[in-house]
Structure formats: structure tokens, C-alpha cells
Amino acid sequence: MYEDEDDEFLYGSTAKRQKLDVLREQYLAATLRQNIGYFDKLGSGEITTRITADTNLVQDGMSEKVGLIITGLSTFISAFVIGFIKSWKLTLILLSVVVAIVVTMGLLSTFMVKFSLRSLEGYSVGGTLAEEVFSSVRNVQAFGVQERLANEYDKYLRVTEKWAFRQGAVLALMLGSLWFYIYNNYALAFWQGSRFVASGSINVGAIISVLMSMLIGAFSLGQIGPNVRSITSGVTAASKIFATIDRQSVIDATSEEGDVLESFNGDIELKDVKFIYPSRPDVTVLENMNLKIPAGNTVALVGASGSGKSTIVGLVERFYQPISGELTLDGHDITKLNTKWLRQQISLVSQEPTLFGCSVYENVAHGLIGTKYENAPEEEKRKLIIEACEQANAWGFIQTLPEGLDTNVGERGFLMSGGQKQRIAIARAIVSNPKVLLLDEATSALDTKSEGIVQDALDMAAKSRTTIVIAHRLSTIKDADLIVVMSKGKIVEQGRHNDLLDKQGMYYELVEAQKIEKLKQPEDEADDSAQTQFVTEEKELEYREDTNILDITRTRTKQSISSLVVANRAVPQPKKYGIWNSIVMLYNLNKPELPYMLFGISSAVVNGLAYPVQSVFFAKCVSAFQVTPAQYPEMRKTINLYSGLFFMLAFVEGIAFVCTIGVLAYVAQKLVRRIRYQSFRQMLRQDIAYFDREENTTGSLTSTLSKDAQSVEGLSGATLGQILNSLVTIIAGTILSIAVAWKLALVCFACMPLMVGCGFLRFWMLQRFQEKAKGAYDKSASFACEATSSIRTVASLTREEDVFSRYKSEIESQIVQSRMSTMRSSFLYGLSQGLSFFIMGLGFWYGSTLLKNHTYGVTQFFICFISVVFGSQSAGTVFSFAPDMGKAKQAAENIQALFNSVPQVDSWSEEGITLQDVEGNIEFQDVHFRYPTRPEVPVLRGLNLTVHKGQYVALVGSSGCGKSTTIGLIESFYIPLGGRILLDGQDISSLNVNSYRSHIALVQQEPVLYAGSIRHNIALGTPRDVTDEDIYAACQQANIHDFIMSLPDGYETLCGTKGALLSGGQKQRIAIARALIREPKILLLDEATSALDSESEKVVQEALARY
């Protein structure tokens, strides 16, 4: 038996880890092959939750718990087999309990699955919100909306809590019914068995054999209760995962189906194309669109934001399917072509460039996927990549990076400036020398000098290939072969630049608007009533290289101030937390539910006392059988009494189990919700430096938020009830057996420390394994989240197989590392389980010796034996939960470390001066700064800058010179290494950070919107309650009001995940409206109008100038 247990857990644990990792791989692969429309409704946070938390539920559902359930059921069935051999009549009568159990379990399990599904659905949406928030944490902190977003997150937690508690309540009814049936079965067995003995149908030996079999079988069946929830939760989670795996995508980039053209010229034509986004079926984006793009020509699409320009690019890339009409390549309907081949002939540079968390070299090399150079020698690939970087004007700044081409760009490229990211993305697009080039505002984030150089490179790259350009800066497309002017999904006019000017139509108006803006001179005098405005623009003044400018104010010392500060900074060591600290922390979190906890624990004590009480009843009944036939009437009377007591025990235990599991489930769900809510708030409390760290990526944090609370939940509710139950059984059984037959008890319990030692050693090993596994699985989760959140870029580059293979290698390395740990754990579990049978055998041998010597009677023997047997099995049961204990301990330590983390810039702090009247005077005094994640790279070296209230100040310079860093320091995202930043003469480090930020509004280069309505997104700009009139006024200033009112749902129109349902220009204008409604004293605009069309830019700039 020991070897069987050992083999079961050794091979079972290894096999289930491999199966689980295959499931993770298949889910990610299935997700990556879905069409883009699928992701418009599904957030990457939900995908991260599925691939981490839900697969963990599946793991629990197919892990050793399956073995425990099979063991319990086989023991129960074996008991009936033995019963039929010994007495088929009595066993047949007792079989009625099986019918009752099956019917009850079958009925209630359907409700468990239903409630579990709704609970998972509730949290998956919350996971999407969390991912959105973490990926835009700078925006969150700038607007001080941490608490509001935390409350939004809590709404989804309430839904999860509600359905998870109902699932726990159903489990409580299930287990209460199970134990009610089991104890009633004992009553029936003794009552009917005494009748058979009295009638002479069965001898006493057969009765005892049947009853002992039933006793052990029922105990084994009762122990599977807590595992039922893991199975149902695993089945529910698996159903959601397999729904995605089985989903057939309308556009599958991994499919081998479709034609592959041996050669093609590049003629693109749209014939009567009508298109509606699946997520907004009531808005027609393109209406009967007809457009011919001859091979080798450059066609520019211009028009207001939302006119359908980017939609055409998406259709050419085959991200979507037209509702009607046809889009052809050289006369071939692209729906008939192989999607992967088609995308490999096209290169796309998006308006919002996406880089992946790897080196510059790897990012550019992604552009070679599908070409003959994909697997070329390293030297040849590097040469191609350098050439592409030179053409994109990126090679200059790449050479200055710490590791050159091999420098990591950070998650989503956050270590690069906007212009640097754009140039790397352009290099990635042109490295493959594609036949079709799609440029969606490709140079919007570049400074003027870089734009000119890169534009020349793009113009050269556009020759001899079909190029579609979307541009708001009309100077970049005046040489295009065809300019198409669009409005509201239709072509208004088309022709060459000079021809369109001669028509003096819409294009002429756009050109004139840009000319007027260029001719405007800045006001010499600022209006003192206006707020201070900082605007960053990527423009080149007459200066030498960036390094020379920074050298002007460099401190003339042997070593810079910032390098001295970095060198002397102590590296904080992570604090270790013990089990007791974790228990105290969890208790404090659950303290509001203390009365419920006490009631649940009291009920668990009642449950645990059942076996010692049962041992007395059982022993009395067995003793009653030890009589002569003449005493059968007395025997029947005694048996009837104890059968009635068993019936009473059934009621007590049934109610106690319902109370224990139900109440502890309620307490557990309150704890889980509180952990997630407070962890979310605590994460948002951290400063930006926390989110810059490699281990705190968006995917990792989203995964941790879901997984740690889930691990703590795994050791609460029914599981905690079973553990408490078993502990009480051990303690009470030990006391009773020593009181009744101390010799037998001491001999049997002498083996117990060895069993307990095995259990504790297994728990310790598994806990250490969880520590090691956390980093690996967090890294793989982060990788999956990054890929799915950038799905358009992944699809455009046909990176699906590359992402899948890298993810697979990440998790396969973890399997190899886990094998030895699994082997040791399985050995210890098998040893502990085998010892329980050794103790049973020892009890029978020594007990029979004591009976033969008349040291003890039958009643004493059975009371002691049953207490010892079930005490040892209960000890084994406790340590069968060692994996859950290990996960829970590691999760509790993670939670405690997070809760105890106090950032340098603390948004929770009440300390600091609160300024009542802010004028808006900003001054930088000898400011030195380096990013915490790249301390070897100086960014600001002695910056001195004074801005008076009401001034409109522009920060200009090439990409990476420190403009956005200056904005970040004004927002107090970081603390300078040297120097001071003053607001109205006060050092901002001495000010209350929330009060200080309330006077500032920020519009970033890449606009950030959240899943919710347009009204909701704009209202996030201010903590005060705003009226519709306030929102309308802000939107009119941002030139977005008319567009919003044209939508069927107006201001209630949903923006989609990260604003995916809106164009870049529309998102930018909503972000500007959100900043304006804040009525700030200081307005920070980081390339705030880069995504706007000419007309919108004109209107918005005028509004900002007046503000």
C-alpha cells in the first residue's frame, strides 16, 4: 500500500504538471490564433487570469486530489465488496446509502459548477481592469484615481465573492448530507445486523467484518469532501479554457489553408467595401469604399480622426473581415489567400509603436520572421539589422545605450522614449524589405530632424513597393502618388497634392490650417490668469549632439553627483517572514469576521469529536453482540439504544458540517476579496520605480493578484474545516484511548511522531519549491500577457509561433526543475500513508495480545483501536493538504511583503505641506537624475530651469534627451538624485504628494483610456463630482463633443479595453478633455496633439492657448 501511494503521487504529480503545462501552451496557442475582433471584447488581463489562476484551478482539480478521491471511492467500494462476501443480505440493505449519496451529489454538483463558472467570469473581468490599470500606472498616479479604480475593481470582487460563497454553501450542504447518510448507515447496520443475529441468519463475526469495512470505507469517503470543490472548480475553469481552445477563428493566422502566390506585384483594390466593427455593430465605419492602389505607388490617406483611415490598414492586414465587398491583391481576394503568408509580405508601423520586453536586436529581428533571413547566421542578421537601424535614424542613439543593440528596452519599451520606440519600430518594419508597407502615423513621435531623415528613408523604402501612408502632417505626404481625403468612412476627394490644392476642397482647407499654425508666432506676454503649460515636442534646434548640451551644466567634479548617490545607496535586502507572522497577518485581515470564525471553529470541534464518540458507540454495540442466544432480547434492546444514538449523531454531525463548511466558506471569501482589494490598492500605492522593475511587469502583477489570493483560499473553507476536524479527532482520540487503554494507546501512538515528521518535512519541501516556482511562472505569465496585450503587433509580425515556442521553453524548464522536488515529496507522502496501515496492524497485534491476557476487554479494545486508527488516518489526512499549505504559506509571505512595502513617493502619506493657493511657478535647481532600473545611464545632469506662472513653455530636443523625464519629475513620479524642484518656492519633496498632484494635469504621448464609457473616462480626470455641462464644455474644447454626440450611445459609448474601439486621434482628444476638466494650475502635454488631424489640432491648440 505504501508503494502504491508513493507511485501514485510520484507519477501523478509529474504527469499532471506536464499535462497542465500542455494545457497552458494550447490555451496560449489558441488565443494567439484568434482574430483581432475577439480581442476587442476580451482584455489581456482576462487572458492572464486564465493562463495563471484558472490553470492553477485545473492543476488542483487534476493533481493529487484526484488520487485522493479515487482512493476514497475505491476504499468505499471495496468495503461493499467485502460486505457482499461476508453478508450479502446486510450489505444489500446498506447499499441504499449509496443511492442517496449519488443522487444528492449529482444534484448539488450541478449547482456547484454553475456557481463556480459565474465566480470565474466575475473575476476574469476584474483581471482585465487590473491589467489595464497596471499598464497605465503613470496616468493613474498623475490623476490620483487609485481609490476610484480600486472601487471599480472591488465591484467585480463582490460578484466573485457572491458566487464563490454560494458554491461553498452548496458544498456545505453536500458534505452535511454525506455525513448524515454515513452515520445513519451505521445505525441501520447495527439495527438490521442485530435482527439477523437474533434470527440466526448471520453470525457475529460476519457482522463485525461488514461493520468494520463500512466504518473504514465511510471514513475514506468522508475525507474526499474538501477535494470535491477543487474538482468542480477545476472542471469549471477547464470548460472556459477549452472553450477558447475549441473556438474556430474566422481569421486564423496559424492555418495552412489559403493560396500562396509565387509572385505578385502589389496592386491593392477595395471594391464596394462596407465594414462595421464587431464590437460596435451599430456604427458603420466604411460605406461602399472603392479605392485602387497600383503596385509600387504611394497612397496617402488623410482626414479627420475616426474617418476610417486606420480601418483600411487593418483590412489590408486582414485583421478584420469586410461585411460586404472585396479587397484584392493583384486581383486575388485576400480572404482566399493564406493569412500568414499575406501578413509576411506586409510591414506595418502603427501610430502607437509596440516593442517587446527584450533587446533592441531581438525587437528588430522580429521583422525578419517569415523571410529567408529568419534563420540566417548571427553575423548576417546583425548586419541587416544595423542597416535597418541606420535607415530609421536609430543607430546613433542605439550606440550610446549601455549594451548597444543588446540593451533591453523594458516592458512595452518603457525604457525608451517615444521617438526611440518609433524609430526601432520603423527599423523592424523595413528590415525585411517588404512588398507592401503600411505607415500609420509612423513619424508622429519623431523630432523634426529625425523625421526628415526617417522620412527620406521611408520615401526611398516606398519606391518599387506599394505603400499606404496615414499622416496628419501633410508635409510628409505631398509627394505621394495619390492622396485620398476621407470623411465619415467615405472618400471625399482624391488626387495628387497640386491637383487637390487647385480644387480648393477639403484637402486645401487642411493644408491652409497647417500653414496658419506654422506662421503663428508665440505671444511675448503670458496671461497671468492662465496656468503654466509644459509642452514637449520632438523638434531639433540648432545645437550639437545631446551629450554636448548636457555637458554644459555638468558638475565639474571627478565624479558626478548622481553617480556618487547611486554608489553610496544601500541595496535593500528582502525580508523573510515566518509562518506565525503570516498567520497573524491573515487573522488581522479576517478580524471583522471573528464571530463567524469562532462559530465555524466550534462547529469543526463538534465534527472532530464525532469519531471518538462513535468509537464508544461502536465498541458498546460490538460488546452487545458478545452474548448467548438466551440474552438476544437484551442485546436487541442495547443495539436499538445505540442505533438511536447513531441516528442522533447523524443529525448533529450533518448540521455541524453544514455550519462548519458554510461559515468558513463565507469567512474565506471575505478574506479572498479583502486580500485582492488591499493588494490592488497596495500595488497602486507604490511609486513608478516599483513598476519599472523587471519582476513587476504588468503580467506578473496581474498574475500575482489573482494567484496569491487563490492559494490562500485553497487552505480555507472546506479544506480548513477538514484540517480542524482531523486535528480535533487526533487530540480527542488520543485522550480517550489513553484514558481507556493506555498501554495499547501508547504503543500505537509511539509511531505517530514519525508520521507527523514526514508530513512536516513534505510541507517544508513543497513550500521551498513554491518559492522557486513563483519566479518562473510569473515570468511566463508576464510573457503571455505582453504578447496578448500587443496582439495587433504580434499578428502583423506573424510572431504567433515564435511567442508560443518561447512560452513553451519557459514552462518546460520549470518542469525539469520540479521533478526532483516531486519525487521527494511523493516518497514522504507514501511513507506517511503507509505508516497509518502499519499502526493499524500494530494495534491489532498488540491489542489481541492484551485481549488474550485479559488485560483489556472487548469494549476497551475497540474504543482504543478505533480512536487510534482514525487518529492516524486523520494525521495522514492533514498532511495530504501539504501542497495547499505550501502554496498558502508562500502566498501569505508574498502578500505580507507587499503590504509592508512603503514607497519613497507614497500616495497614502498624510505628511507634507498642503498648499492652498498655487500660482504655478516651477523651478529646477541643479537637478540630477538616473532611472532606478538603469543607474549607469545619466539622464539629467545639473538641469536648471525656471518657469513662471502663466507661461507656455515648450521642451524640445531629439528623442531621449530628457523631455519626458522632466515631465515625470514635475509629476513627482521619481525623486531626483541631486538638486531640487520647487513649486512656488517650496521643494516638492516637502509637499503632500496627493495635494501637489491635484494641481497638475497630464496628457501623455500615448493616450490611456479604460474599459468603460466615454463619460466615465473623462470623469476620471477630477475627484469632484462633475455635471454633464462640465463634461460637454471640456469635450468641446478638445474638439470631440460633436463626434461623441454622433454616436448612437453618445457619452455612454464604450471605449473598449484600453480604448481599442476608438481611433488614435479620438483617444487623444478624450484624454485632453479629461485633463481640461481637472482645471489644473499646471498642464503637462507630452506630445499631446501628435495623433490629431490638422483641424482638431488647430482647435485644441487654440483651446489650450486660451485655457
Q: Assign residue 638 the CATH number of its domain.
A: 1.20.1560.10
**End residue of a domain, out of 371, 405, 433:** 433
Per mean pLDDT, which range of 136-150, 291-305, 503-517, 849-863 is the poorest?
503-517
Share of the chain above pLDDT 70, in %: 81
Query: Which tens digit of pLDDT belongs to each residue from 724-753?
Result: 888 888 888 888 888 888 888 888 777 777
522 lies in some domain: no
Residues 893 and 928 in one domain: no
Q: Is 29 contained in some domain?
A: no
* Residue 508 placed within a domain: no
Cα(922)–Cα(231) distance, integer angstroms: 60
Q: pLDDT per residue over 378-405, tens digit each?
A: 888 888 999 888 888 888 888 888 888 8
CA neighbours closer than 13 Å in the CB half-sphere of residue 441: 25
Residues 94, 155, single domain; the answer is: yes
C-alpha count within 13 angstroms, C-beta hemisphere, residue 34: 22
Give the residue from 393, 410, 433 where a domain finishes: 433
Instruction: Provide the number of structural domains found in the chain.
Output: 3
Whole-angstrom Cα distance, residue 576 to residue 642? 54
Q: Are residues 913 and 871 in the same domain?
A: no
% pLDDT > 90, the chain: 4
1055 within domain boundaries: yes
Question: What is the average pLDDT score of the chain?
Answer: 79
- 1008 and 860 assigned to the same domain: no
Pick from 899, 920, 955: which residue ends a domain? 899
On the CB side of 922, how many CA atoms lie within 13 Å of its CA? 26
Residue 1075, pLDDT above cutoff 80:
yes
Q: Which of 59, 38, 54 is nearest to 123 (CA)?
A: 54
Residue type, 494: Q
Describe the strand order of the beta sheet including 952-956 as a list of residue ranges.
952-956, 532-537, 1082-1086, 1000-1003
Q: Please report the pLDDT score of residue 192 as a whole number.
A: 87
Q: What's the mean pLDDT in 902-925? A: 86
- Same domain for 850 and 935, yes or no, is no
Tell me, yes or no, whether 705 lies in a domain: yes
Determine the pLDDT at residue 821.
Answer: 65
Quick one: 911 and 893 in the same domain? no
pLDDT of residue 912: 86
CB-CB contact of 142 with 1000 (8 Å): yes
Give the CATH number of the domain where residue 409 resides: 3.40.50.300
pLDDT for 541: 37
- Same domain, yes or no: 831 and 911: no
Q: Does residue 455 lie in a domain region?
A: no
Give residue-wise pLDDT tens across range 93-133. Answer: 888 887 888 888 888 888 888 888 888 877 878 888 888 88
Expressed as residue numbers, the domain containing 222 is: 61-246+591-899
Nine cell digits for residue 983: 513649486
CA 695 to CA 684: how far, in whole Å? 16
Task: Indicate if 778 and 921 belong to the same structural domain.
Answer: no
Tell me, yes or no, whether 548 and 597 share the same domain.
no
Mean pLDDT of 1069-1083: 87
Do both 887 and 912 map to the same domain? no
The pLDDT value given to residue 1102: 63
Give the DSSP letter of residue 933: T
Q: Residue 547 — very low, low, confident or very high, per pLDDT cuts 50/70/90? A: very low
Q: Are residues 839 and 891 in the same domain?
A: yes
Alpha-carbon dihedral 915, 144, 535, 1026, rounded to 10 degrees: -90
Here the cell at position 593 is 469576521
How far apart CA 356 and CA 782 sit, in angstroms, is: 11
The whole-number average pLDDT for the span 580-605 is: 87
68 falls within a domain = yes
Mind spelling out the 3-state secondary structure of 362-414? HHHHHHHCCCCCCCCCHHHHHHHHHHHHHHCCCHHHHHHCCCHHHCECCHHHC
How large is the average pLDDT for residues 18-25? 73
Higher pLDDT, 956 or 223: 956
For residue 512, is it within any domain?
no
1075 or 785, greater pLDDT: 1075
Q: Identify the three-state secondary structure at position 1065.
A: helix
Residue pair 35/73 in contact (Cβ under 8 Å)? The answer is: no
Q: Are residues 926 and 867 in the same domain?
A: no
